[in-house]
Structure 1
């Protein structure tokens, strides 16, 4: 990301970070009252409870939110249960419940609530110590974040040290700021989105340039002009990526055809036999690899990650042995008679 875009995003997210710091005193938003609102409240109350949990950065709420998202949150009177098969725990006290109450009722989740839960879980995972978890969370927030998540995004942006994740958070923050009523904020967000290279970013910028009736979605002509410049930059970056992918695919396919051609040339040049069984030999090697993989899974699961080191020589040996058998039993009788080998 360019220095100008980074500076713009820092300004954009600063307000969210300050808000997050102000809310950080509520380190644990998962109170019995919040749990009751999640389980027993109306949709708007549930959304408010989810937003409060995210604003507080209470990662301990992730299992509860996941249970609600997956339909495993149930109520039994005033009690809220996280159910897993035939077992359950009380969401407030964390105590195991046995036997399960018979008067349990499912907590219903609509599409709006399900989207909010997915975004909230991803936002809370931005605080994980695992880099892969944070990256996956940032990617999950693309196109899903709204202004209610801006404090969490701002806090994560301020703490993040990984350049790739920081760039993703910057773009998410910019996309969120497009909803702002302040023209300067929207303009800075549009400039920051110029650093994107995804179809989601392209769709956001295209949305600003669309017309609804006689009016543009974005009424400010200066912002529309900047959005067009950002869109051109994003589309150019996407096109370059697609060209690189096409070149790679062409080289890959050409390599396969080259190997087939070399095999035909060598066998015909040395033995005078046209052998078209390349595919069968590849299949035998693949089947041998599959057998080795299953053997490691069944008998050496602790070393499963290393099965490929054993599978490659086994595949070569299996294909070579079958090739020798075919040569001894069939091909040796056809040397110098290419037409009969077709």
Structure 2
């Protein structure tokens, strides 16, 4: 076969014509595919394009954008949707940039909603809130719940379900039901079941409502209580209303038990504060018989020492708090020794003059703090590990700062108890407390023991101030709030007895908290004071009176 024959003019023209047609076909197909691919790209919006659509006026467009954001998997998706739901998402009218704002006088300080970067300060009319209607609000609630339920943190998943308890629609219940089988955390799984059963209380089926009431009868959630109460009053079936009333009784009994536990906890925490405030006074008053009216100001000095240490170390509040304990002990202890050496030692045997002198010292210390530091309250921050709470159930939570105060009180008590029982100083203190003249005859330097005892009691007062700085305002009048309570604890527990101070302080703290709900804080203190007055008429030496020769003094 002659190959050149293929390229004869006739065949060559045909080949050219066929190639040209083939090329035209390819270009034609490409021309068709380009708009299709462009349209496909437009029909598949990205996270960025959906963000831009949130500034549109059309709620339909916003709804589509919300779905896109939720399904994007972007790390900021949940935050953007939550901000939109909370009404805190804005956009700049000109640039359409999504913003978070912070009031600054008559203007807004702006922050980029995606990056958090600080922006310009603009006039209020330069930005506008991303508005939503009820339909979008419902859509956002479901999508936020779905996103949060996929969060790896069980606490976030639990909080998400709990937030939905008040408004669980059938659609939301279906969504929650799909997560139960895969949920590994027992608490989250229980909360999912509670939410689903809350939804079933609105069912048309009587048995479904009864089963839901039976499941929810042990729950302490506020939304559960309110919903069952509504059912007990308005359900069309009498049997359902009866079961709802029974469930309410069970819930109310459990809530009362939790309330009692909370009252006991707050009473013990208040008692721990009273013990810390009074335990130093128990030493000085019990050993030396000195009515030190400046004891409250020694507590105040400890609190201000905490403030000053935190001022030096503002970035490390936890370390500053720990360092404040020995610092406060030294400051208040040194001041106590100075008071004993300079004033009290010249007034032994004259209780009225001692009381007036120490009262004058308290006024001097208050004015000193007002002049040197500030007449106003000063801020003392809590370290991160003392913040938050331990949730026992939905109506009972134990705050971390109070738990630490209780533990701190017990540690201080144990250390002081060991000092008085196991050290040479403790032996001398007990000897002087029981019989001063006999202790002197045995070679005990009572003047030195008095100074060290007063310093020890004052140092403990300073440590109490460190604890109080984490619970209350630190100001010049801090000590005045605790001086009377401290004397009440010492007298009630037994003068000079540490166990009496511990039991007396905790007892008075619990008694105060039990009385407060129905009598008020002021009347509760009055009632406790009246009780102590009547009590010491029968037992003048308190709960744990001193034994031996000191008991007859």
So what's the TM-score if we normalise by structure 1? 0.69
CA distance in 2, matches of 1:295, 1:207: 56
* Distance change (3 Å), C-alpha of 1:278 and 1:140: farther
The aligned length equals: 295
* Distance change (3 Å), C-alpha of 1:135 and 1:292: farther
Q: Is the 8 A contact 1:293 1:307 kept in 2?
A: yes
Report the 3-state secondary structure (helix = DSSP H, G, I; strand = E; otherwise coil) of the residue aligned with 1:129.
Answer: coil
Task: Tell me which residue corresponds to 1:125.
Answer: 148
1:201-250 CA-to-partner distances (Å, cap 9, x unmatched) read: 2111111112xxxxxx2112232222122212111111100111222233
Superposition deviation, residue 120 in structure 1: 4.8
Instruction: Choose from 305, 308, 312 the match for 2:321.
Output: 308
CA distance in 2, matches of 1:333, 1:264: 20
Asked whether 1:172 is paired with 2:195, we answer yes
CA distance in 1, matches of 2:330, 2:313: 18
Instruction: Choose from 274, 289, 298 the match for 2:306.
Output: 289
Instruction: Choose from 209, 219, 231 the match for 2:232.
Output: 209
1:42-71 CA-to-partner distances (Å, cap 9, x unmatched) read: 4x9867986x67996967532331342344
Asked whether 1:198 is paired with 2:221, we answer yes
* Distance change (3 Å), C-alpha of 1:255 and 1:138: same
Report the 3-state secondary structure (helix = DSSP H, G, I; strand = E; otherwise coil) of the residue aligned with 1:309.
Answer: helix
1:285-322 CA-to-partner distances (Å, cap 9, x unmatched) read: 2222223233332xxx3x54444332322232232222
Q: Is the 8 A contact 2:305 2:327 kept in 1?
A: yes
1:135-167 CA-to-partner distances (Å, cap 9, x unmatched) read: 332333332443332244224433332222322
Instruction: Choose from 309, 328, 337 the match for 1:324.
Output: 337
Report the 3-state secondary structure (helix = DSSP H, G, I; strand = E; otherwise coil) of the residue aligned with 1:83.
Answer: strand
Asked whether 1:237 is paired with 2:247, we answer no
Superposition deviation, residue 340 in structure 1: 1.6
Q: Is the 8 A contact 2:169 2:199 kept in 1?
A: yes
CA distance in 1, matches of 2:68, 2:226: 30
Is the deviation greater in 178-187 or in 267-276?
Answer: 178-187
Report the 3-state secondary structure (helix = DSSP H, G, I; strand = E; otherwise coil) of the residue aligned with 1:141.
Answer: helix
Superposition deviation, residue 330 in structure 1: 2.5
Q: Which runs of 5+ in 2 are unaligned?
A: 1-44, 101-108, 115-121, 356-553
Asked whether 1:137 is paired with 2:160, we answer yes
Q: Is the 8 A contact 2:91 2:129 kept in 1?
A: yes
Report the 3-state secondary structure (helix = DSSP H, G, I; strand = E; otherwise coil) of the residue aligned with 2:152.
Answer: coil
Superposition deviation, residue 30 in structure 1: 6.3
Task: Tell me which residue corresponds to 1:334.
Answer: 347
Report the 3-state secondary structure (helix = DSSP H, G, I; strand = E; otherwise coil) of the residue aligned with 2:99.
Answer: strand
Task: Tell me which residue corresponds to 1:66.
Answer: 82
CA distance in 1, matches of 2:308, 2:178: 49
CA distance in 2, matches of 1:53, 1:222: 46
* Distance change (3 Å), C-alpha of 1:314 and 1:151: farther
Q: Is the 8 A contact 1:119 1:144 kept in 2?
A: no
Q: Is the 8 A contact 1:75 1:107 kept in 2?
A: no
Instruction: Choose from 192, 198, 206 the match for 1:183.
Output: 206
1:166-225 CA-to-partner distances (Å, cap 9, x unmatched) read: 222322222233233333332222222112113332111111112xxxxxx211223222
Task: Tell me which residue corresponds to 1:148.
Answer: 171
Q: Is the 8 A contact 1:30 1:53 kept in 2?
A: yes
Q: Is the 8 A contact 2:176 2:196 kept in 1?
A: yes
* Distance change (3 Å), C-alpha of 1:334 and 1:104: closer
